[in-house]
Amino acid sequence: MTVTASSGSPRVTPQLFDTLPLSSVRQAEQQDRFPDGGELNNLITFFRSGQDRIEASRVLADNAEAIVARAANKIFAGGTPLSFLEAPLSRGEVQRRDGTVLASDQAAFQASIETFTGASAATGGGNAFTRLLRGNSEDADVRVVLPTGFAPISVAKYGPERMRKSVRDLGWFLRYVGYALVAGDPSILSVNTRGLRDVLEKGCSLAATNVALQEMRAAAASLLRDRPEAREMAVQCFNVLLQELAIATPSSRQKLGSSERQGLQLPAIYALASQGKSPRYSIKLGMSGAERQEIVRAAYRQVFERDIAKGYSQAPCAQEASQLVQGKISMREFIRALGRCKEYRQQFHDRFVNSRVVELAYRHFLGRGVSSLEEFKTSFAILSDQGLHGLIDVLVNSSEYAQTFGEETVPFLRDLGEEAQESAGWGSNRKLFRFSAPFEGAPQYVTLYASYRQPFADQHVYGGGNDPIGNQYGAIFPSGTASVATRPAPYGYDSRRLLVSNGLASPGQMDSAQFRSSRPRKVGPRVVRLQQIATGGAARPRRGGLPSVRNTEASTQAVINAVYVQVLGNAGYAGERVSSDEARLENGDISLRDFVRSVARSDAFRRRYWSGLYIAKAIEVMHRRLLGRPTFGRWEIDSLFDVAARHGFYGLIDALINSKEYCDCFGEDTAPYERFITPADLNTRRVPTWKQAINLEALASGTKSERPEAQTVERLKTSGDLTQRNIQGAGGQIKWEQSSSINNRNNEQLTSFALTKQFNKTTKAKTPSWQAKVEFRGIVNPEIPGEKILQALRRNDINGFAARVGLKTSIELKPPFTEEALSSVIDETYRQLLNRIPFDDERLVEAESQLRNQTIPLVGFIEAVALSDTFQKRLSAMAPLRAAAAVSLAILGRASTPGEAAEFVQTRAANGQPAAIRKVFERREADDANRLLQIKLPSTDGRQSFRELQTTRQDSLPRPIAPVTPPIFEGDGEGKTTTLFNAVKTQAIQATAAPLPPLARALESKDTTGFQRKAGIPSPILLTPPFSEDELSIAIDATYRQLINRIPLDNERLTSAESLLRNQDLDISGFVEAVAMSDLFQQRLSSMAPLRAASAAALALLGRAATPAEVAEFLKIRAGAGQLEAVRSLLMAAESLSTNEVPRVQGMETSPGQSQSTVIRTASLYRGNSALNPPKDSAI
């Protein structure tokens, strides 16, 4: 047993008995289904008969004394048994036989008469012989049967002590029968009666108890004669009591121990009380198919913690489940198959660390938590060495599994009542059995076992939630359930907390005289004392000659305010201040200590720190307020707890203020202050700042050294200088040299200096004052603003912009190489392709290993990264042209040309994205097999100069055509006309002969296919028989996406139409018609506005936008004959399409006879691959 940590002790109070509503819905809840007809009928009957059952229970309670007296008189002789009853069994007013209420003395007299004479209506009269023969006149089902050897018990021999216990026990039996009547289920009697047989045989007569219960049954039946249902249930409850007393006490359930596990035993009352609450599912021969399927679902619920077949339409291990139903494999092998399936690995292995995987596996396959650290180590080693399959095999093949579940039983949770539970790991077991266990990723047991070896936690001895937050105002405690950062630890009386001194000067040993008398330094809290002025005491005889104490008003108010702030947390509101005690303090009638006592006993302090808090929290916060420090440990808290229990709130206040520690620390004239705090409070109050790590290796040496001087550049920088960029001159560096004398300035500099000098009225030339003081050496090269940019643009060569200095064009990895070089190249590859370093579970471990073993070159590793899912997902999220540019930039280290981008997009649309990436790798040189081509900056190598490029662009611009711009004629004086027509005609011919841009060529083309198909629109899907199952699935899914914009659920799919299409009894056009006429497509159109519905229907069935005439026709038919007929008219219009082609959006493809407005409208409706729903804006 550990003494350093605990897994927590959540209070668990299992209900050992059942009620009718609980027992009716329990099985439905465990099987994850709705209650069936029989269970609902039980609930209906229970609620309908509720008033009758409560009334029957009230009748038994009102006549409890009469029923007990009748049973006691049956088994006892020679006295009055009811006189030994200590407390009355029935409640209410005592009445006469005529119904009049009796007074208290009359009621006592009436009770004495009934007790000693037995003349009441319930008990009846007669002697002992007549009482023994009375059972013959009762009903047959409640007739009293005397057991063999029964004889009445003499009251004198039995003794008064045993008589009181026997009469009390009879009242208990009757009370539990009333409880069972209200609950509607007699299980409460079974749970509380088991094990009493041995007790009754040792303490009294079991036969007498049997006769007494039969007599009470007969009396209750006679009272409930007019309520048949209540009478029947009461008789049933008494029969349960008699049956339980007839059964011998069952033995305790043993839990065998081992060298690693503790052997325990569970009392029989808990084991038998849990029977029937958790159903056991065992597959047997002769079961029906429905029963076997229910057992399979029970296995799903145990292993996956929910019914995934019902909730998620998943059926893992369908083949093994079929073999189990047919009896070919056992349940044990089916459980093994579920643990080894892909779904279990994804849900309970891949998402967790190995420690949590072990814990969840124990819950799923053994129905319990981890018992010990040795067991956890063994399972963790198996999981690390053999993987998940090895761990599952070890658990399923274990002898514990065979003894507990065998070959036919589905594993179940072995919780409370199933077997004895260890105290170690109690809280972890409770958390593991919760429904939220799969959502908690942090391991529970390994952290608990690690805390066993750690010292005590820095927290309150009764839990971290009892430490208030170290603020000045109020008592704020952390939540005990949300984000609990501490574990409960079993602190003993020999341990105490570590406290931090709040600026005290040498506090000394804890709880010593030096500790109590220590005063704070300047860095500690401010000490506020009451300044007192002594006056003569002879003037007032009532003082007995003692000097009075007078205080200045300013000092007294400051001290009063300090007391309020420390004790209450603030200066006190208007109705919270104790004004009378303030006046008495100012007059010197009471000391400051008594004033602190008055404030602590006020309603404001009680409301803040006592009434709304648990006693341990109240003691902690009051200790901090009045004594200025947290509590030490359990011994101090327990003593104050005892004071609070015996003397209450005021006694606890007096115990703290009258303590020796308060007298030594604060005395009579000092306001309490905060003396000690916890380390957690210290960390909370620290201001978060940046702290530089201490480098111990770089400590300053003791030897003296010269101070380093900053390097200066002997060059004058003026306002006309520019910062150096990567622009290089054409024929050499441009230098503007001047003499070293700074007085020889040019006109521009003189003008600048003249503008900046102060205005002086004198015209005498003055030598500047800085001329003799400043000396400049070197060559001055001021730069003309913008000169380098102009020189670069004027040049005819193409090297205007050079590459950035220091950026490598490639990284090479040639064998042999070191591990450091390999890691660097791998990281650079990831950065270039993925733009980040992936996580450990995302890295291509196999490809890295092959590169490390020199099985593949560097280009092979780059190709593996490019074909990985991470890189593929990154490209899939981009537009087609952006994806082409990103691939070329990552693999080739440069931007792609328009031809390369077009080839990538075409290959990607036809053969898929991986094939397009492999095409890009074919463009790499053979010499780059071990090189990572890094991204190059823009360069003009092999390209036209800026001037040539500008000339080409100007020549390629489209010029006005001759007929558009009329010629301009100019007339001279001689009547001759000079025309500019020839010049304009020449320009038009040049413009026509010049190469036109692609847009101009597309506009001037006579073919209607000027605009190519949009790259993101899917290619045509043809389903021509014979076809495979994969092709059929692709065509069906594409049809669903085209018409209803999603893949329907399993219960929504048109299974009959899919079967006809699979059997080739139906073609694609027929399947499209079936989907278009289904409720899914009709409901989709019905939810839209009329114009939007017409657009959506045409876009889905015709693959293009509807013309205005088609829209009008659709709306007309829909209004007259209904929506089905309107959809059928569109299907007839689509019959011209291929019968084996899946409908698709045609996008921007034009066709002969189709108007340009329809093409534009289709593009505006489409808006990408996911926009089959037309947009709300500009519908038609």
Per residue in 1156-1169, pLDDT (tens digit) is 666 667 766 665 44
Provide the terminal-to-terminal Cα distance of the chain, rounded to the nearest Å. 79
Q: Is the dihedral of CA 714, 718, 721, 722 positive or negative?
A: positive
- Which of 224-238, 740-754, 845-859, 909-923 bottoms out in mean pLDDT, i.e. has the lowest? 740-754
Closest of 472, 496, 481, 518 to residue 684, by C-alpha: 472
* CA 195/CA 1071 separation, integer angstroms: 72
pLDDT recorded at residue 853: 87
Is residue 822 classed exposed, middle or buried when 0-12, 13-18 and 19+ CB atoms within 10 A define those classes?
Answer: middle
1136 in a structural domain: yes
Give yes or no: residues 846 and 964 share one domain: no
Identify the band that residue 382 occupies on the pLDDT scale cut at 50, 70 and 90.
Answer: very high
Number of H helices, E strands in the chain: 52, 12
pLDDT recorded at residue 968: 42
Give yes or no: residues 203 and 117 share one domain: yes
753 in a structural domain: no
- Which of 184-198, 468-482, 594-608, 683-697 bottoms out in mean pLDDT, i.e. has the lowest? 683-697
What are the DSSP calls for 269-323, one per residue? HHHHHTTTTS---B--TT--HHHHHHHHHHHHHHHHSS-HHHHS---TTHHHHHH
Q: What is the pLDDT of residues 175-223, one digit of tens each?
A: 889 988 888 888 888 878 877 877 777 777 888 888 888 999 999 998 8
φ/ψ bin of 927: left (φ > 0), alpha (ψ from -120 to 50), beta (otherwise): alpha
Give yes or no: residues 282 and 363 share one domain: yes
* CA 1157/CA 1106 separation, integer angstroms: 10
Domain stop point among 648, 683, 718: 683
Closest of 729, 726, 721, 733 to residue 783, by C-alpha: 721
The mean per-residue pLDDT over the stretch 1043-1057 comes to: 86
Identify the band that residue 970 occupies on the pLDDT scale cut at 50, 70 and 90.
Answer: very low
Q: What is the number of other CB atoms lying within 10 angstroms of the CB of residue 716?
A: 14
* CA 954/CA 528 separation, integer angstroms: 89
Give yes or no: residues 229 and 275 share one domain: no
Q: Are 934 and 806 in contact (CB under 8 A)?
A: no
Give yes or no: residues 484 and 382 share one domain: no
Neighbouring-strand partners of residue 978: 970
Q: How far is CA 561 from CA 587, 595, 854, 1140, in A?
A: 17, 12, 80, 92
More confident: 1009 or 334: 334
Q: Are 241 and 223 in contact (CB under 8 A)?
A: no
Give yes or no: residues 1052 and 1121 share one domain: yes
788 in a structural domain: no
Omega of the bond leading into 816 within 30 degrees of 0 (cis): yes
1016 in a structural domain: no
CATH code for position 653: 1.10.3130.20
Side chain identity at residue 201, one-letter code: E
Neighbouring-strand partners of residue 532: 551
99 in a structural domain: yes
Q: Is the dihedral of CA 177, 178, 181, 187 positive or negative?
A: negative
> Number of C-alpha atoms within 13 angstroms, CB side, residue 440?
16
- Which of 370-379, 479-488, 1097-1106 bottoms out in mean pLDDT, i.e. has the lowest? 479-488
The mean per-residue pLDDT over the stretch 877-881 comes to: 87
Give yes or no: residues 31 and 65 share one domain: no
- Secondary structure element (H or E) that encloses residue 501, with its range: strand 500-501
Domain hosting 358: range is: 264-452
Is residue 879 classed exposed, middle or buried when 0-12, 13-18 and 19+ CB atoms within 10 A define those classes?
Answer: exposed
Give yes or no: residues 469 and 441 share one domain: no
DSSP state of 758: P
Q: For residue 86, how far is the Cα from the chain centroid?
A: 57
pLDDT recorded at residue 1155: 66
Q: Could you give phi then psi for residue 587, rounded to 5 degrees?
A: -80, -10
581 in a structural domain: yes
Closest of 333, 322, 312 to residue 292, by C-alpha: 322
Domain stop point among 683, 711, 746: 683
Give yes or no: residues 598 and 659 share one domain: yes
Give yes or no: residues 114 and 42 share one domain: no
1036 in a structural domain: yes
Identify the band that residue 756 occupies on the pLDDT scale cut at 50, 70 and 90.
Answer: very low
Q: What is the number of other CB atoms lying within 10 angstroms of the CB of residue 769?
A: 7
Q: Are 1047 and 1040 in contact (CB under 8 A)?
A: yes
pLDDT recorded at residue 1030: 85
pLDDT recorded at residue 487: 62
Distant-in-sequence, close-in-space partners of 1102: CB < 8 Å, separation ≥ 6: 1130, 1133, 1134, 1143
791 in a structural domain: no
Q: Are 478 and 464 in contact (CB under 8 A)?
A: yes
* CA 724/CA 276 separation, integer angstroms: 88
Q: How many domains does the chain have?
A: 7
pLDDT recorded at residue 554: 59
Give yes or no: residues 325 and 187 share one domain: no
- Secondary structure element (H or E) that encloses residue 376, with its range: helix 373-396
Domain stop point among 404, 420, 452: 452
Give yes or no: residues 164 and 291 share one domain: no
Q: Tell me the two tokens of residue 237.
A: 């409850």
pLDDT recorded at residue 1106: 83
* CA 542/CA 923 separation, integer angstroms: 114
Q: Assess whether pLDDT exceeds 70 at residue 1174.
A: no
Q: What is the number of other CB atoms lying within 10 angstroms of the CB of residue 1163?
A: 17
* 3-state DSSP assignment of residue 254: strand
Q: Tell me the two tokens of residue 1139.
A: 């019968």
* CA 20/CA 5 separation, integer angstroms: 42
* CA 195/CA 181 separation, integer angstroms: 22
pLDDT over 70 percentage in the chain: 69
What are the DSSP calls for 1051-1109, one per residue? TTS-HHHHHHHHTTSS-HHHHHHHHHTSHHHHHHHHTS-HHHHHHHHHHHHTSSPPPHH
* 3-state DSSP assignment of residue 1013: coil
3-class secondary structure for 551-614?
ECHHHHHHHHHHHHHHHCCCCCCCCCCCHHHHHHHHHCCCCHHHHHHHHHCCHHHHHHHHHCCC
Q: Are 486 and 463 in contact (CB under 8 A)?
A: yes
Q: Tell me the two tokens of residue 826.
A: 């791998």
* CA 59/CA 233 separation, integer angstroms: 14
Q: What is the pLDDT of residues 98-129, one digit of tens each?
A: 555 555 445 555 555 554 334 343 444 445 44
pLDDT recorded at residue 949: 52
Q: For residue 763, how far is the Cα from the chain centroid?
A: 85
The mean per-residue pLDDT over the stretch 605-613 comes to: 90
Q: Tell me the two tokens of residue 258.
A: 């081992």
Q: For residue 724, how far is the Cα from the chain centroid?
A: 54
Identify the band that residue 505 occupies on the pLDDT scale cut at 50, 70 and 90.
Answer: confident
Q: What is the number of other CB atoms lying within 10 angstroms of the CB of residue 1155?
A: 10
The model's pTM is 0.45
Q: Tell me the two tokens of residue 423.
A: 């105290």
Report, in angstroms and rounded to the nearest whole number, the Rg of the chain calculated over CA atoms. Answer: 49
Burial state string for 429-452 with b = 16 or more CB within 10 A and e = fewer than 16: bbbbbeeebbeeeebbbbebbebe
Mean per-residue pLDDT of the chain: 75
Identify the band that residue 389 occupies on the pLDDT scale cut at 50, 70 and 90.
Answer: very high
Q: Tell me the two tokens of residue 671.
A: 């306001």
